[in-house]
Amino acid sequence: MSRVDAPYDMEPLRWKIFRGIKAQGGWAGTSATLCSRVPLMAMYGITSSLCTLLAVAGIAHAKPGIADQISLLQKSNASFLQYPTQFTQGIIPKPIHSHNDYWRDVPLLSALSFGVASVEADVWFVDGKLYVGHDEASLTPNRTFESVYLQPLLEILNDQNPDNKFTRNQTRPNGVFDVSPDTPLQLLVDMKTDGKVTLQPVLKALQPLRAKGYLSTFANGTFVQSSILVVGTGNTPLDDVKALEPRDLFFDGPLTNLNDTSTNWEPTLAPLASTDFQAAIGWGGVGTISDEQLGNLTQFIADADARGIKSRFWNTPAWPVSGRNAVWRLLRESGAFWLNADDILAASQF
C-alpha cells in the first residue's frame, strides 16, 4: 500500500500536513486555513503547538508584506507601472563631449547611458550618401549618418514626447534626458569631405528631426532652443552657415581667435568654440603648468564666456591617466564648459 493510499490514521504527520496543504490549494493561505480552523486541525491531526512550530519555521505564512506586494505587482505587468518616458530615467546629463563617438561599440546610446550631453559624428558624403567613420577605411555601407545617429534620435525623442491630452499645451519638446528635459543634446557634425558639397546633404538628412520641431533654431533674430543642438565642425563652411535662414545647423567657432573682428562671434552663430589643447596650451598634465600656459587657458575661456559661447578643448592627453586627470581637473577649475573625452566612463565618474 502506498503512502498516498494509506488510511489517515496510518499516515506520517508530514503526509497529513502535505495532504492538508494540497487540499487548500497550496501554501498560500495555509496558515489562515489549517491553523485557524479547529475542524481542519482535528481532521489532519494538527495541534496548536504544531501550528506555532510551523509559523516559526516559516511554513505558516504571515500576511504579505511590502516586498511581497512589490513582487506581485511586478509579475502582474500592471500598466501603471510602465513609466512612459523611462528610456533615460535617472540618468543625469553632464557637460561631457563624446569625442569620436562612432568608435564606441554602441554609438550614441553608450554616451547617453553615462549622461554625456554631446556626441561627435565624423561625416563623409560619398556617392550621394552620408557615412560615419574616422577615415575612408572605416566606412561601411550600413554605418550611415541616418542609421547610426538620426533615426535613433528620432525614435528616442518621439518616445520622450508622447502625443496625448497631457502634452498638447507643451510649449517645446522634451530632450533625451528624462530628469532634465530642457537640456539639449549637442550633435557635433565633423564634415570630412568638402564642406560646400557636404552641407546641403546634412541639412536634408536633418529634415525628419526638423519636421518634429526637435532642432534648436535661429530665425528672425530669435534663438529657440529645442531637443538637439546641431553644430558643424571640420570642413563645415562658415560663410554658408552664416547664410542659413532659418539656421538650425551652427558653427564650431575658433576658441583661440574669437576676437577676430572679421566675424561677429556670438552664440546664435557659434554656440560652441573649440581648440586643440596641445597646440593652444601645451601642458601634458605632468609637472607644473607655467604661468603663461595658465594665463592663455584662462583668457580663452573668458573670451568664450563673455560672448555666451561654450568652450571645448580637444586633444587633451589620454596617458598617463594621472596626467589626463590633472588636465581634466584644471579645465573644470578654470571654467571650461565641455570636458572632451574618449573614456566617457572615466569622465562620467570624474
pLDDT tens-digit readout, 93-148 = 999 999 999 999 999 999 999 999 999 999 999 999 999 999 999 999 999 999 99
1 domain-assigned: no
155 domain-assigned: yes
State whether 108 and 232 are in the same domain: yes
* Mean pLDDT of the 188-197 span: 98
Which of 248, 280, 297 represents a domain boundary (last residue)?
Answer: 248
Which of 213, 230, 248 represents a domain boundary (last residue)?
Answer: 248
pLDDT value at residue 79:
84
Task: Give Cβ neighbours of residue 244 (< 8 Å, ≥ 6 apart).
Answer: 203
Which three three-digit cell numbers place residue 130?
Answer: 552620408
pLDDT value at residue 108:
98
State whether 100 and 227 are in the same domain: yes
pLDDT value at 3 more than 50: no
pLDDT tens-digit readout, 5-62 = 444 444 454 444 445 544 544 444 444 444 555 444 444 455 555 555 555 555 555 6
pLDDT value at residue 146:
98
pLDDT tens-digit readout, 83-107 = 888 899 999 999 999 999 999 999 9
State whether 118 and 243 are in the same domain: yes
The secondary structure element, H or E, covering residue 160 is helix 151-160
Q: Domain containing 30: what range?
A: 8-81
State whether 108 and 231 are in the same domain: yes
State whether 13 and 114 are in the same domain: no
pLDDT value at residue 161:
95
220 domain-assigned: yes
Assess contact for 116 and 98: CB atoms under 8 A: yes
Tell me how many domains the chain contains. 3
State whether 74 and 148 are in the same domain: no
* Mean pLDDT of the 195-201 span: 98
pLDDT value at 314 more than 90: yes
State whether 141 and 183 are in the same domain: yes
Terminus-to-terminus CA distance in the chain, angstroms? Answer: 73
State whether 28 and 47 are in the same domain: yes
What mean pLDDT, rounded, does the chain reach? 88
pLDDT value at residue 63:
75
| DSSP-assigned letter for residue 324 | H
Smallest CA-to-CA distance from 213 within 200, 229, 226 is with 226
129 domain-assigned: yes
207 domain-assigned: yes
Which of 29, 58, 81 represents a domain boundary (last residue)?
Answer: 81
* Mean pLDDT of the 261-277 span: 97
pLDDT tens-digit readout, 213-236 = 999 999 999 999 999 999 999 999
pLDDT value at residue 233:
98
185 alpha carbon, distance to own chain's centre: 10
